[in-house]
A and B are shown apart, each in its own frame.
Chain A
Amino acid sequence: MDMNQYLEVFIEESKEHLQACNEQLLELEKNPEDITIVNEIFRSAHTLKGMSATMGYEDLAKLTHQMENVLDAIRNHKLKFNPEILDVVFLAVDDLEAMVQSIAEGGDGKRDVSDVVGKLLLIEKGESPVQSEAKSEVAAAAAEPLHAAKSHYDEFEFTVLQQSKEQGFDTFEITVALREDCLLKAARVFMIFEILEKIGEVIKSNPSVDQLEEEQFDHEFTVTIVSKEMKDDIQKKLMKVSEVEKVDVNPISLDELRQYEEEVEIIQTTVSEAPANEMVKNADTPNKQEDKKATSSAKQASSKTIRVNIERLDILMNLFEELVIDRGRLEQISRDLNNQELHETVERMSRVTGDLQNIILNMRMVPVETVFNRFPRMVRQLARDLNKKINLEIIGAETELDRTVIDEIGDPLVHLIRNALDHGVETPETRKANGKNEEGTVVLKAYHSGNHVFIEIEDDGAGISRDKVLAKALSKGIVTEQAAASMTDNQVYELILASGFSTAEKISDVSGRGVGLDVVKSTIESLGGTISIESKLGHGSVFSIQLPLTLSIISVMLTEIQQEKFAIPLSSIIETAIVKKEDILNAHNQRVIDFRGKVVPLLFLKDVFEVPVFEEEDDFYSVVIVRKGDKMAGLVVDSFIGQQEVVLKSLGNYLMNVFAISGATILGNGQVALIVDCNALIK
């Protein structure tokens, strides 16, 4: 069988399962007693094993198999969970990740796993199953040995069964086992259900239908149906579905069922040794838990997804951009022609394309989770390396950002988190001495606000010392002494983002190579974002990143200079003003204006852009006040055309690094307008 077509799916799913393993393992570290988490990990590992064995990746399968054994032992209480086991399992997951990575890069996924496998084996054998512990297994296993019915039925389902019985339907419990190497389990499940729905009515399935559709089961599932068909017929029909290994059809009688339910209750009460008055409650809980699970999986199911190659989305986006340009053109034509019908049609089209724009932009939005989810592992590892105790809190991982931004933001965040861990949070001893909790907290927070997304990295560590930063900056020649004296605290903090700066007294592997933070700053600025720092000595610091929601469609102010049109991004505009010629002041060859009590230098774009002059200027200047950080400047243009949403396009490979031009856009009339890069104009 040609496996190539499945390879992509395999890699994607493996990554997802490994990510799930990672997350659950971290969770398990916090709640070592929680067996449901072990179950989750086990399930992921098991699926991974099945998939990799099918795809022929032996090492991968071998390692997952061994990992699975250990997990199985833990969940069956044969092994006591302890941090050493966790470490080895983490190691195993690391190896698995490396292998999947190698497969994704076109490698063979081979890797020497004997070391980790050996360790896992030792763990598995390290503690032989203790008899006394085995007893508690009875409780878990109790449900299975009773042959009659595998599923529990709640009151409602029971009533349904009873009513069907009265109408002459028989109840069957069908257990279907799929082949181990079944590739499209969900498809098989669908086929089986289709058959079942023809011959009767499905009352219940275990696991739930949603879980089955998402392939959240091993190879076996149980379905309860009511039907008038014969037992053998049902079995034969089901066996026709390919890749089905075994079908067991058991007619069940309601009396038996009732009896069985009672039995289970008794077993549960005796095992749990609960006081008699809690008996009812206890019997209820499993159902409740099941309900909860069902609702949560139902939520997942309601947001069904398909995988789309990002390239296709890019093509869609490009096509849509064309449409936006034509829309602008149509709007203009309809204005010129002044035809009522045309007006209406164009307006409706504008509205539809507006909605379409939102949808397409949304499609390209990815939750920051995809970036954030690798941080817990990283922080855990770093905290160990640094001998610090650190608790990472992630807030707002569901916040969405354009994919292009997501792709770029990962590395800067890694730098900032490393920085927070290394330089921010103190060692446990120091923290204790300062009366703080030994465990430091780093909060990674993302949220939307207006047209921007904010990502904050907050630590409750030592904070930034103004004096130390200044001393260092002076010694490195980054600032002069005079400038230093007049700087605000925030300006001083921002010095640590300057290139060639590193405040760590000891250079460590983690950070402090002095290259990290200035790269962070430039990356974020290249994304059209800003970064700011707040800090309180002794209490910690906050690095706050502001990013635009999307990079491809931006709002601009269109302006005219002589016969040329320039677009100025709205994000850097404070406001526009009309200034009289006589209000312009001169300061050292620099023309300035008094703008709301502030002296703002004027930049004549006509001169900056060497615009050929055709007409004489009048007595008023149209000024666009723009800012970069705390600095402001007034850009003098000839007239304002208006605000517009435009598609940002690059000037291409040939015209790179054009001064003060960040790109171009196509206007409604098909002409190109250049977009002014205000950051380059303000120095």
Chain B
Amino acid sequence: MTDTLAADVKLIVFQLKDKEYAIPVNQVQGIEKVEHITRVPRTEKFIKGVINLRGVITPIIDLRSRFGLEEENFTDSTRVIIVSVNDLEVGFVVDLANDVIDIPVSSIEPPPDVVGVKEVEYINGVAKIGKRLLILIDLEMILGTEQFSSTRNEG
């Protein structure tokens, strides 16, 4: 976000539980409906498995589970947001993805200092648009392999 100081940022907005989150549109490859997910055994719990995304095997992460929220069964509005960061292409399962908005960069504030909430480490900042509060998530932190690679290799 540092590179677009004066300009607006375009964000994809999605919902988890009752909160709204956002990802910059340039990191999003597409939004898909949930198809058959093939479970991959002995991986982290939040990795739901892999799907066939037009011939490419794409891992799927359940963001609810990743953020430590309770999991829910998929509904008609459940979507998979395909993101691409540093050569990694993964899909995030979210409750609802329904909005693309432009916000001025200046409206983004640093994340609030709340201790003890798991999702805080994955937050880049928050943006307040009218009455809506958008939570900007840090994809690199979410996909960061270092923190859980050690546990995964044991599995």
Determine if A608 and B52 form an interchain contact, defined as CB atoms under 8 angstroms apart. Answer: no
Interchain CB contact (< 8 A) of A672 among B42, B43, B50, B54: B50
Interface residues in A650-683 (C-beta closer than 8 Å to B): 650-655, 657-661, 664, 666, 670-674
Interchain CB contact (< 8 A) of B55 among A318, A610, A611, A659: A318
For B42, give the chain A residue with the smallest CB separation: A659
State whether B59 touches A671 (Cβ < 8 A). no
What is the CA–CA distance of A666 and B89 in the complex, to the nearest angstrom? 17
Indicate whether B152 reaches chain A with its CB closer than 8 angstroms: yes
Interface hit among B31-39, B72-80, B123-131 = B31-39
Which of B41, B87, B152 is A609 in contact with, Cβ under 8 Å? B41
- Whether the pair B52, A666 counts as a contact (CB closer than 8 A) is yes
Contacts of B52 in A (CB 8 A): 325, 666, 670-672
The answer to whether the Cβ of A144 comes within 8 Å of any Cβ in the partner chain is no
Total contacting residues, chain A, CB less than 8 A: 28
Contact A671 B40 (CB under 8 A): no
> At the interface, yes or no: B27 with Cβ under 8 Å from chain A?
no
A611, B145: Cα distance in complex, Å: 25
**CB–CB B39/A654 < 8 A:** no
Known: A651-B50, A653-B87, A671-B52. A611 touches B58 (CB 8 A): no
Residue of A nearest to B153 (CB): A657
CB B99 to nearest CB in A, in angstroms, measures 27
Give bound CA distance, A652 to B52, whole Å.
Answer: 12
A564 and B39 contact, CB distance less than 8 A: yes
| B58 engages A661 (CB within 8 Å) | no
In this assembly, does B116 line the interface, its C-beta being within 8 Å of a C-beta of chain A? no
A652–B152 contact, CB under 8 A?
A: no
Instruction: Provide the B1-45 mask, 1 if CB < 8 A to any CB of A, else 0.
Output: 000000000000000000000000000000000011011111100
Instruction: Give the contact-size bracket for chain B.
Output: 20 to 34
For residue B50, which residues in chain A have a CB less than 8 angstroms away from its CB? 651-652, 655, 664, 672
When the two chains form their complex, are residues B38 and A658 in contact, meaning their CB atoms are under 8 A apart? no
Instruction: Look across to chain B and name the residue whose beta carbon is closest to the beta carbon of A564.
Output: B39
Q: Is the CB of A654 within 8 A of B42?
A: no
Question: B59 touching A655 by the CB < 8 A rule?
Answer: yes
Cα distance, A650 to B40, chains bound together (Å): 13
Bound complex: CA A410 to CA B125 (Å): 51
| Complex CA–CA separation, A671 to B50 (angstroms) | 9
Q: Is A650 a contact of B57 with CB atoms below 8 Å?
A: yes
List residues of chain A with CB within 8 A of the CB of B87: 653
A671 closest partner in B (C-beta):
B36
Identify B59's interface contact among A322, A564, A649, A654, CB under 8 A: A654
Please report the C-alpha to C-alpha distance between residue A602 and residue B88 in the assembled complex, in whole angstroms. 37
CB-CB < 8 A to A609: which residues of B? 41-42
Q: Does B112 contact A (CB under 8 A)?
A: no
- State whether B55 touches A325 (Cβ < 8 A): yes
Residues on B with C-beta less than 8 A from A652 are 50, 56-59, 88-90
Write out, one digit per residue, whether chain A residues 195-234 have a CB within 8 A of any chain B CB (1) or not (0).
0000000000000000000000000000000000000000
Question: Would you list which residues of chain B between 73 and 110 have a CB under 8 Å from chain A?
Answer: 87-90
**A130→B81 CA distance, assembly (Å):** 84
CB distance from A641 to the nearest CB of B (A): 15
- Return chain B residues, CB-CB under 8 Å to A661: 40-41
A320 smallest CB distance to B (angstroms): 11
Cβ-based interface call for A321 (8 A)? yes
- With A653-B88, A654-B88, A664-B50 known as contacts, the answer to whether A672 contacts B38 (CB < 8 A) is yes
Q: In the complex, A325→B35 CA distance in Å?
A: 16
Please name all residues of chain A whose beta carbon is closer than 8 Å to the beta carbon of B89 when the two chains form the complex. Answer: 652, 654
On chain B, the residues within 8 Å of A671 by CB distance are 36, 38, 52
Q: Is B136 among interface residues, defined by CB-CB distance under 8 A?
A: no
Q: Which residue of B lies closest to A612 (CB)?
A: B39
CA A321 to CA B52, docked complex, whole Å: 13
A672 in contact with B57 (CB, 8 Å): yes
Report yes or no: B47 in contact with A655, Cβ–Cβ below 8 A: yes
Q: Which residues of A contact B38 (CB under 8 A)?
A: 564, 664, 671-674
CA distance A657 to B155 in the complex (A): 10
Pairwise interchain contact B39-A655, C-beta atoms closer than 8 A: no
- The yes or no answer to B135 lying at the interface (CB within 8 A) is no
Q: Which residues of B contact A318 (CB under 8 A)?
A: 55
Task: Check B143 for interface membership: any CB of A closer than 8 A.
Answer: yes
B51: Cβ under 8 A from any A Cβ = yes
Q: Which residues of B contact A674 (CB under 8 A)?
A: 38, 40-41
B:116-155 near A, CB below 8 Å: 143, 145, 152-153, 155
Whether the pair A651, B40 counts as a contact (CB closer than 8 A) is yes
Minimum C-beta distance from A442 to chain B (A):
41
Within 620-673 of A, Cβ neighbours of B (below 8 Å) are at 649-655, 657-661, 664, 666, 670-673
Min CB–CB distance B41 → chain A (angstroms): 4
Q: Provided the pairs A325-B55, A609-B42 are in contact, do residues A654 and B143 lie with their beta carbons within 8 angstroms?
A: yes
- Report if A664-B57 is in contact (Cβ < 8 Å); known contacts: A609-B42, A659-B155: yes
Instruction: Kindly state the separation between the CA atoms of A609 and B39 in the bound complex, as whole angstroms.
Output: 10
B44 nearest CB neighbor, chain A only? A655
Give me 13 A-to-B residue pairs in the complex whose CB atoms sit less than 8 angstroms apart, sorted by A's number.
Answer: A564-B38, A649-B56, A649-B57, A652-B50, A652-B59, A652-B88, A654-B88, A654-B143, A654-B145, A655-B50, A658-B42, A664-B38, A672-B50
Which 7 residue pairs are nearest across A and B when measured between Cβ atoms?
Answer: A609-B41, A672-B38, A671-B36, A322-B55, A654-B59, A666-B52, A664-B57
